[in-house]
Structure 1
Amino acid sequence: MQGLPDKQSVKKLHVLITSRMFSASRNKKDDLFKYKLACEELSKFINEVNFESKIAKKSVELRENGNDYFKKNELDKAFEMYTMSMAYAPTKSVELSMAYANRSAVLFKANWFADCLVDIEHALELDYPENLKAKLFLRKANCLQAICPKRRGPINEALDETRQWMKKMDKKNQLAIEQLLKKQKTTKTTTEKTVCYKFDADVVPEKLKSENPALPGLSSAVELQYSKKYGRHLIATRDIKPSEVLAVQEPYINIVKQDLRYKYCWHCVKQTWSNIPCDDCAEVIYCSASCRDKAKLAYHDVECYVLSRILASGIISNFIFPLRIAIKALKEANNSFDILEQNRLKVDAEKDPLTKGFIDGKFDPQKFSSVYSLSHNPHTDKNFEILCLAGSSITAYFLAKKIPAFEKSLKDEKLLKTDDKFISLIGFIDKIVSITRNNLLQVQAPDKYEDIKDTSSAVVIPFSFMNHSCIKMVTFKRQSEKLVLTAVCPIEKGEQIFDNYMSQFFIHTKKQRVEMLSHSNFICDCEACIKDWPTYTDSLNPFLVNTLKPDLREVFHLIMNSTFVMYETVCKNNEIMLFKKEINKVAKVVENYYSLFGANSSDSVTALKLLMMAVFMSQRHFVHLK
């Protein structure tokens, strides 16, 4: 293994560690023994792997793929290929300028003119070929004319630049540009379609009526309690009405789904079009230089190095979550592994299960002690356990290269084998894997073509205090970089506030719910399970709308019609549909029906679903270019 120069060596290392750990597992060895086995294999891997994150050849290949999609008018795929080409292009290279320029053509065709202008400027700031600049300046003029045709000054400047750079083109292309210039002069607007803008659902943010002083970001309508049966859980301190905001919380970590890494900003986790790459790796993109700088300061200066290597190893992408948490914990400990270990031991030593992780009487959702205090269960699947241990070992190995305390050990095979701190680091990563597995929240966005799009995975610490019930009581949505928790049914004072993890009584039968929850070794004893409530899978069937009660039929049409208009608003203009009136109207129906018929009625379930839909729709949507 020693000295292998490419990414294949990392994959081989993963296979070797996994194989040895499976053998140790069959011999019933404990975790510490397995960690030491991992150290033995890692010690053979002392030499650095030669990683080239920025590869010009790869960038060109991706750009050519984008060209093929663009010719077929598959704008979303073309956009993704050009963005990946940008990510792989060496810094300040011709390849980078070409990726920006080609992507600007996609944005222009999709009528995203403001973003198109940004990409054009990025391309022109770099070493963009002179014989192609006339095309870019003409595109710039067309964008400016589409956005504000009355501002002739900037438009004429772009047209003058077009004529100037035409001289660098061959005769054939000069004639083509001349024809386009004549057409541009006689056309009042460059497109018959409406100019597209980014929809911003965060203009009027949700706010808490009052905040719980011990639980920042949570409403004073809830408090934290503890019992042996439920662990830490949230209780209503007063009666709560449907649609009331219970939390406005920034996640401790929020990480973009792997298939959206080239469509969402790695830091603020917002969909982005005129994005920019990381200067050092090809794995992520940012919506702006500001987000790139914030990410680098907070975690990506370390993460950048490790991320490429763990992704190349073939281990599951879930290790990005413990990696981010470990880096944030190290930053909080002033990059000292010894201080980090002290912080861990302090949390582990706390006796009171209710206040575990508290600092000065508060549960700070942005502190490592809070996330480290969350509940976690040991792996129940042995095969998955071994894969996690192997992944933890590789993640720890590359992370250690960025921690001064391991500098000597990583240069000496014998030292690494016996380094107790390194063994402790592997165990630390492995524990965070368990914590994130238990506490990850899937963040979703409305999608016109797929209904729901999984966009990111987050750890929102206070949300982890809600236990499962098949009777849903809350829902959440994105608001800028925070998540908003909203009640969707009446909650009485003293009642525990439950969320729904996977099984809902009105969708799944009791038998189905038992099967779904068995994978988590969980037996639900909610009222729906004990009394075996019926399902209501047809409650939003439009063909049955005339069978609904008049007030329910009214809000059904209101929400369905607003949902359709909402998608058009997102795609074509920037009119703010706050959805607040619609949410309040359906919330009153929910409250009334729960009072009259309880949670277990077809009408109550229909009203509940409509309220959940309204809250979900009142956030940023996933937007397609096509």
Structure 2
Amino acid sequence: MEEPINSPVPLKSELTDDNSPPELPIILGVLLKSELTDNNSPTEPPISKTPEVVKNSRESLTSTCSLLEPSVSSEPAAAPESSSPELNKDEIKQQDFTKQLPPQKKYSEKITSIKDPNWKKRFGQIMGDAIRTTSSINHHELRIKNIVDYLSNFGVETLKDLFKPPPDCKDAKLSSEYRAKGDYYYTMAIRKSNDKKNLNYLEDAHKNYTMSIAYAPINSIELSLGQASRSAVLFHAKLYADCCDDIDRSIDNGCPDELRAKLLLRKAMCYQILTPDDKINIKKQFDQVYNWIYKMDDNIAVNFRKIVDKQIDIDPADKSKFPIWNYANNIPKLNKISNSKINGLIDDVKLKFTDDFGRHIVAGKDIKPGEIIGVIEPYAKVHFPSMRYKFCCHCGVQTWSSIPCNSCPTIIFCSTECHDAAQAEYHNLECPVFQSMRTIGLKNELFLVARTVAKAIKDAGDINDYQKHLDDAKINTDPLDKSFTNETFNSKKFSNIYNFLGHPLDSQLKITIYAYPILLAYFYVTMTDNFCKRYSVNLTNLKHDPKFLSLIILTQNIMQLINKNSITMMTYCDGDKRAIIHGLYPAINFFNQSSTPSMVSSLQSDKLVLTVIQPIKKGRRIFFNCEQHNSMAIKSEQKNDFLDKYYLAKESMIDNDSSTLSTLEKSTVNGNISAKMIDKLADIKNKLENIIWLVEHFEQTDGNVPDISDIIKDANELIKKTTSRGKNGNEFLIDIFNTLERFYQSYNSPCVKLSG
């Protein structure tokens, strides 16, 4: 049993004569073992206010935002968790807003001060009035100028007048409060370690310690203590390598001398499990512990030395480790020649153009089910709020010993390499913008818009150059490879994906397509250093600034691009399917759409793995069904919107006869499906369902997921036999295809929950 933060004495269990190591070394904590009884449960420390009040605050804020809701997919409602909800800083700081709201004013009234929770509704009403007032202006840039002028005339002289509290930024007090809450959950995790009904405690402790680290100012004692505390959770969860990483960072960030020996003991115990045969290195680790014992209080040091003396000779019996999803094994390397036209696809598929179907992908050879034809990376992506502290912002892998952004509190990375790459590609530009966006509670889809804006500007080099950058890409007018770079589609270049902008805006976006871009452009020109100098915050001056107007237009285009082309990826979290990533995957739009797809995608980190599920003859189109990324199937009345979304100009492009089924229906061969074939399909289904269960509940496994190659080989043999049965085999063949479709759609890298 381990003792939670700053305890003055060691635990009794650590001074026994048993040769087994304690469950945990001494860690940072607040309670002694004697206090961890059922009659004296620790009380969860609040963070500024109770979850119930925070919930009410959230509801009062979101209820006023209907006029500014974008018509893009949002995260499905999550099942209620057993622990208290995550508390965001904007929710904490707004605690006094719900006590006494000012009376609602009509949108036509002049706004002298709108620092209250109703600003979204008022701003939306003013925007609606501004759009109606300027509806007769056909010149787009002139209309934007007039809308901005309309805002300033109604008292919104500076958009900073709108925002209270200040931007969501580092906060030592919040960091300490989240760490105290982590202490509570960690203590409960130890006390109820054998209670299966309370497995969320360790997960909640890790989340709150991670948030404490994220909110801690750079190089602060709060940052060091947060990392030290989280290392205890990681040790308890058997994530020993991550535990060592947190210990090293805690020490580097100025861990107090009197706690350093405790951390080094924990690290030495990790090495006893990670490298049990490297006795020399283990001894070096324990030598460091002895070197720091003298910094401890004399009374504590005597007992602590006894623990170290005993631990150094122990060979831990349990060397098991927490299962970690192997992204390297599950993100396939495309062994075949890369596609000459589209990065991420194999050369066995070809890009074609016809007047009927536009640009589309066809098979360059016969392709069997189970073959991977591509691994596609996003141009830009953001994680949903519930996943923000679990996954690396840049590469998308789940991370346990994450490192935070040095400036904002809601972005984490798995390594310094990802941190530095993200800063160079987009985050140093978007960082202050994200802070203000979170403060005012903008929706997750708009963070994808803001990130794409940052990447587009970085790609062009400067906001002044982006239009020239796009114009250069339009020189090539060949319908097959227009906007390509050197006749190749590069999904990492904004000029390449800009061509997917496509159709005019839908009427329901008229308010949002002006309101949000004006807000985001305002944040970028007044809060970032990319524009050479900080711009005037005065809207009257900004409406004449060409960079500001150019940035609004760019943001409008990107918002439309994302509304038409982004997809939401799902994954399993504790057995439930949850939204994880909202991303812009432009290459997927080269595939025509069908309700009977011949290819599906699965998510590994932030990459889409494209797998064929039906036999495809050479020259046939390859179909994808983006409904798999929607929470609901496309209804008949939505079909025109669906066609427009994927740039399908003709009704025939929704091809329900795209698969082998069309051939079977014309076949004159008759036959029956044998009982042996039915049993074989049942066996395939059972094996695939077992694999999906292992993925869904990955933390309960030993970290190994069975290889599926033999199962897919059996499925192909069954498809071949079924095809020979002709029309009588149609229903059975559909069952096989549906089985493969459900499997690959579910074979995503999971969101693994800590348990212990």
Does TM, scored on the shorter chain, surpass 0.5?
yes
The whole-number CA distance in structure 2 between the counterparts of 1:338 and 1:582 is 55
Query: Equivalent of 1:604, from 733, 748, 755?
Result: 733
CA distance in 2, matches of 1:448, 1:404: 42
Q: Deviations for 1:7-33, whole angstroms, at most 9, x for unmatched residues?
A: 995977755542211113455726653
Determine the structure 2 residue equivalent to 1:61.
177
Q: CA RMSD in A?
A: 3.7
- TM-superposed deviation, 1:456: 1.5
Gap change, CA 1:618 and 1:405, over 3 Å in 2: closer
Secondary structure, aligned partner of 2:186:
helix
Question: The residue matched to 1:202 in structure 2 has which SS?
Answer: helix
Give the SS at the match of 1:72: helix
1:558 to 678, 684, 687: 687
Instruction: Report the CA distance between 1:486 and its aligned residue.
Output: 1.5
Whether 1:96 aligns to 2:223 is yes
1:625–1:408 CA distance, 2 compared to 1 (3 A): closer
Structure 1 residues 395, 90: CA separation in 2 closer, same or farther (over 3 Å shift)?
same
CA distance in 2, matches of 1:595, 1:491: 16
Q: Report the AA paired with residue 438 of structure 1.
A: K
CA distance in 2: counterparts of 1:328 and 1:601, whole angstroms: 48
Out of 626, 629, 634, the position equivalent to 1:501 is: 626
Match of 2:511 in 1: 386
Greater alpha carbon shift after TM alignment, 11-20 vs 440-449: 11-20
Partner of 1:622: 751
**1:249-398 → structure 2 map (5 Å cutoff):** 249-335=376-462, 337-346=463-472, 351-380=477-506, 382=508, 384-398=509-523
> SS of 2:350's equivalent?
strand
- Judged with a 3 Å threshold, the aligned counterparts in structure 2 of structure 1 residues 223 and 247 are, in CA distance, closer, same or farther, namely same
Specify the SS of the correspondent of 1:373. helix
1:37: which partner in 2?
147
Offset from partner CA, 1:519-541 (integer Å, 9 cap, x none): 647797646599xx9xxxxxxxx
Count, aligned residues: 599
Query: Aligned partners of 1:492 and 1:363: how far apart in 2?
Result: 25
How far residue 256 of structure 1 moved from its aligned partner, in angstroms, is: 2.2
Q: Provide, for residues 168-217 of structure 1, a one-character-per-residue CA deviation record: whole Å limited to 9, x for no partner.
A: 44577557646754763675317x47222533142473315333322232
Q: Counterpart of 1:538?
A: none
- Give the partner amino acid of 1:439: N
Partners of 2:442 and 2:145 in 1: CA distance: 17
Give a deviation string over 1:117-159, Cα, whole Å, max 9, x none: 1111111112212232232122222212222333333434444
8 Å CA contact 2:148, 2:539 repeated in 1: no
Whether the 8 Å contact between 1:490 and 1:591 is mirrored in structure 2 is no
Amino acid of the residue matched to residue 209 of structure 1? Answer: K
Relative distance call for 1:78 and 1:395 in structure 2 (3 A) is same
Residue 602 of structure 2 aligns to a residue in which SS? Answer: strand
Counterpart check, 1:459 vs 2:569: no
The residue aligned with 2:541 is 415
Normalising by structure 2, report the TM-score: 0.71
Q: In the TM superposition, what are the counterparts of 1:192-271 in structure 2 within 5 Å?
A: 192=318, 194-203=320-329, 205-207=332-334, 209-227=336-354, 230-271=357-398
Moved more, 55-64 or 456-465: 456-465
1:441 maps to which residue? 567
How many angstroms does 1:101 deviate by? 0.8
Structure 1 length normalisation: TM-score?
A: 0.84
Distance of 2:353 and 2:521 partners within structure 1: 34
Matches for 1:469-480 after TM superposition, within 5 Å: 469-479=594-604
Residues 188, 403 of structure 1: alpha-carbon distance in 2 compared, 3 angstrom cutoff:
closer
CA–CA distance in structure 2, aligned partners of residues 11 and 232 of structure 1: 47
2: distance between equivalents of 1:52 and 1:559? 45
Q: CA deviation at 1:551?
A: 2.1
Greater share of helix:
1
Using the TM superposition, give the Cα deviation of residue 416 of structure 1 relative to its aligned residue in structure 2, in angstroms: 1.1
Q: Which moved more, 1:243-252 or 1:477-486?
A: 477-486
Whole-angstrom CA distance in 2 between matches of 1:622 and 1:609:
25
Query: Partners in 1 of 2:505 and 2:732 — Cα distance?
Result: 41
Structure 1 window deviating more from structure 2 (198-207 vs 36-45): it is: 36-45
Cα distance in 1 for residues equivalent to 2:656 and 2:280: 68
- Residues 85 and 491 of structure 1: CA distance in aligned 2, closer, same or farther (over 3 Å): same
2:649 is equivalent to residue 514 of structure 1: no
AA paired with 1:465?
F
Give the direction of change, closer, same or farther, for the CA distance of 1:412–1:453 in structure 2 (3 Å limit).
closer
Contact preservation (8 Å) 1:35, 1:426: no
Contact conserved, 1:208 with 1:248, CA < 8 A, in 2?
no
In the alignment, the residues of structure 1 paired with residue 174 and residue 441 of structure 2 have an alpha-carbon distance, to the nearest angstrom, of 20
Partner residue in 1 for 2:129: 23
Cα 1:36–1:600 change in 2 (3 A) is farther
Distance in 2, matches of 1:612 and 1:497, equals 14
Q: Secondary structure at the match of 1:476?
A: strand
Which range moves more in the overlay, 322-331 or 556-565?
A: 556-565
Change (3 A) 1:574 1:23: same
User: How far apart in 1 are the matches of 2:328 and 2:614?
Assistant: 24
Paired residues of 2:168 and 2:409 also in contact (CA < 8 A):
no
Mapped to 2, the partners of 1:260 and 1:568 lie a distance apart of 17
Select the structure of larger CA radius of gyration.
2
CA gap of 1:589–1:255, structure 2 versus 1, over 3 A, is farther
